[in-house]
Amino acid sequence: MINSMTGYGEAQGESDGISYAVTIKTVNNRYLKTAVKLPELAAFLEEDIEKLLRKNLSRGTVNYVLRLKEAPADVLFDIDEAALQAVVERLNRAGASAGADGTIDLGNLLNLPGMIRPAAPDAEQARQITEVILRISQEALEQLKQMRAVEGGYLEADLKKRCKIIEQDLEQIRARSAVVVQRYVEKLRKRIDELLAHAELKLDEESLVREVAVFADRSDISEEIARLDSHLQQFAQCCQGNDQAGRRLDFISQEMLREANTIASKASDTEIIRFVVDIKCQIDRIKEQVQNVE
């Protein structure tokens, strides 16, 4: 089974009076690209979150967001009380020296650099935070992977349907190519007979055979048909046996298009070319869909 690269997962948890909410969204990308957004309280977990994402996902752009809900203020930040007291004392002394009398707005003082800083959890708090965040992150990932698997099922069904259409068109081309040379012989002989109808000349059978042989060799597409058929079989096997098949499927679809183009360039029959056009339309759609596969 194949997986889509598009998905969404979320989970929530609570520890020590703090509610945590994790959301993970993924979209298409040729490689694995992660963007992790954490509050200051859990910033120390960034590396662990990165490892968890890379362990569970192989391709796509991953947006991970952790939010805190109903968190007490003392958990979110600390006030440097010693620095604040020192600033107040210096302002009082300065005011007394200048003979100025007034009140000090503590709110404005808190805007000074360094007065408010993110709270740093102690060892026990860090352990509890790590446990709950990694747990709900894994839950969100499981939900995400389930959605990607469901989407992958739809992708696989569509890809198989288009491969089946290509197989049918390819069978038509195979049957048609068997009679193209014979049709060419008949057409060539008829044309020569028309040209020699009023001339006392005899058709050189050896030259006719040589011309037909050159045409047959130039328009032979049996190898291309066999290779395209082989690519279709590899494509189906890859869908069944690899849940991270995106890159391989992309490569196979490119090879399928290469063979179709070669058949079109070598074929001199309008019916064959019509079937090739249909095949190329299906391959183009396959290439688009494969970009969604992990």
pLDDT value of residue 186: 57
Mean pLDDT taken over the chain: 81
Q: What is the pLDDT of residues 92-142, one digit of tens each?
A: 666 666 666 666 666 665 566 665 555 666 688 788 889 999 999 999 999
pLDDT one-digit tens code per residue, 245-292: 888 999 999 999 999 998 888 777 788 889 999 999 999 999 999 999
Question: For position 111, what pLDDT does the model report?
Answer: 64
User: What pLDDT sits at residue 282?
Assistant: 96
Structural domains counted in the chain: 2
State the pLDDT at residue 184.
55
66 & 134 share domain: yes
Tell me, yes or no, whether 291 lies in a domain.
no
Which pLDDT score, from 0 to 100, does residue 221 have? 78
The answer to whether position 61 is within a domain reads yes
Predicted local distance difference test score (pLDDT) of residue 225 = 87
Same domain, 43 and 59: yes
Angstrom distances, CA of residue 46 to CA of 50, 62, 75, 115, 162: 6, 14, 19, 25, 42
Contacts of 46 (CB under 8 A, 6+ apart): 36, 38
What is the reported pLDDT for 272? 85
**Shared-domain flag, residues 11 and 65:** yes
d(CA 174, CA 91): 94
d(CA 131, CA 14): 11
**Which of 32-36, 66-70, 187-191, 267-271 has the weakest average pLDDT?**
187-191
Q: Over range 220-236, report the average pLDDT.
A: 88
Is the pLDDT at 21 greater than 60? The verdict is: yes
Based on the domain organization, do 98 and 13 belong to the same domain? no
Question: What's the pLDDT band for 239 if we cut at 50, 70, 90?
Answer: confident
Per the model's pLDDT, the better-predicted residue between 96 and 173 turns out to be: 173
Say how many CA atoms lie within 13 Å of 171 toward its Cβ: 6
Residue 18 shares a structural domain with residue 68? yes
**Residue 281 pLDDT:** 95
- State the residue range of the domain holding 144: 7-74+119-150
Higher-confidence residue of 208 and 81: namely 81
Q: Are residues 109 and 126 in the same domain?
A: no
126 and 142 housed in the same domain: yes
Q: How many residues does the chain have?
A: 294
Express each pLDDT in 174-226 by its tens digit. Answer: 888 776 656 655 565 566 555 555 555 555 666 555 655 555 556 577 888 89
pLDDT of residue 222: 80
Same domain? 39 vs 99: no
What share of the chain has pLDDT > 70, as a percent?
67
Question: Mutual orientation of helices 270-290 and 246-266 as an angle, nearest 10°?
Answer: 160
Give the contacts of 215 (CB within 8 A, at least 6 positions apart). Answer: 181, 184, 268
Answer yes or no: do 87 and 19 share one domain: no
Secondary structure of 183-209 as H, E, C letters: HHHHHHHHHHHHHCCCCCCCCCHHHHH
Q: Give 276's contacts (C-beta < 8 A, 6+ positions apart).
A: 169, 173, 260, 263, 264, 267
What is the per-residue pLDDT for 168?
A: 95
- Beta-sheet strands, E only, within the chain: 7-15, 18-27, 32-37, 60-69, 77-79, 116-118
Q: Residues 258, 262, 263, 265: is their CA dihedral positive or negative?
A: positive
If asked whether residues 102 and 26 sit together in one domain, one would say no
Residue 251 domain-assigned?
A: no
Domain containing residue 53: CATH number: 3.30.230
Whether 124 and 89 map to the same domain: the answer is no
Token representation of residue 86: 């020192």
